[in-house]
Amino acid sequence: MPPRVTAAPVRPRRALAARVAAAVLALPLALTGCTAEDATTTATDVPGRVDLSPAAQQRCDDLLTGLGDELGGLALDGDVDLDAGTATFGEDDPVTVVCGTAAPDELALTSSCQDVRGVGWFIPDEQLADSSVDAVATAVGFRPRLSVVVPAARRGSDSLAVLSALAGPVKRELRLVHRCK
């Protein structure tokens, strides 16, 4: 039996943000009458990493090694790759966590983000609009930046569980530079 995932109490104003984030990453296939065979998935490349200072690299290493053998109910798939700054979770359609990424090209000063348990995640508009494609959520208010590649098949409850599970490690290991708008 897989471990039970429980969420910490959410303050009322954050409860709405958590519901919005779940809806944003949810698959609307049931609403449109599509089946899984009808869905088209566009593979999303793992975000590139930037050159990190030794201190920033250590923060990434600590975050990735501290994630353990499961994240949001998904088992670690293989080993954490500290050279690439990645960890993958879930056997089929794995979710990839990448530490030390660049700012997304689509990110602007006026961009909004979704707050999940105190971490602001930016997801490009075109990925928000089409849930049949993979999505990349980036914790833009923390340094080094952390990105999570969520395959289309995992959007919805899996993605919310992963982003929720990352809140503690992100706040503990990475440096907050600004809050989510």
Q: What are 15-26's pLDDT values in tens digits?
A: 434 443 444 444
Residue 159: predicted pLDDT: 94
What pLDDT was estimated at residue 180? 76
Of 18 and 139, the one with more pLDDT: 139
> Is the pTM of the predicted complex or chain greater than 0.95?
no
Q: pLDDT per residue over 65-88, tens digit each?
A: 999 999 999 999 999 999 999 999
CA dihedral sign of residues 99, 172, 67, 15: negative
Q: Which residue has better confidence, 43 or 106?
A: 106
CB atoms within 10 A of CB 62: 14
Instruction: Report the distance separating Cα 146 and Cα 144, nearest Å.
Output: 7
Predicted local confidence at residue 35, as pLDDT = 31
Instruction: Indicate if the pLDDT at residue 107 is higher than 60.
Output: yes
Higher pLDDT, 129 or 42: 129
What the block records as the tokens of 1 is: 């039996």
Q: Please tell me the distance from the alpha carbon of residue 62 to that of residue 48, in angstroms, as a whole number.
A: 19
Q: What torsion, rounded to 10 degrees, do the Cα atoms 83, 88, 91, 94 define?
A: -120
Mean pLDDT: which of 26-30, 31-35, 166-170 is highest?
166-170
Dihedral angle sign, alpha carbons of residues 90, 159, 8, 178? positive
Beta strand spans in the chain (E): 70-71, 74-75, 86-89, 95-101, 114-116, 119-122, 135-139, 142-143, 145-150, 175-176
Query: CA end-to-end span of the chain, whole Å?
Result: 38
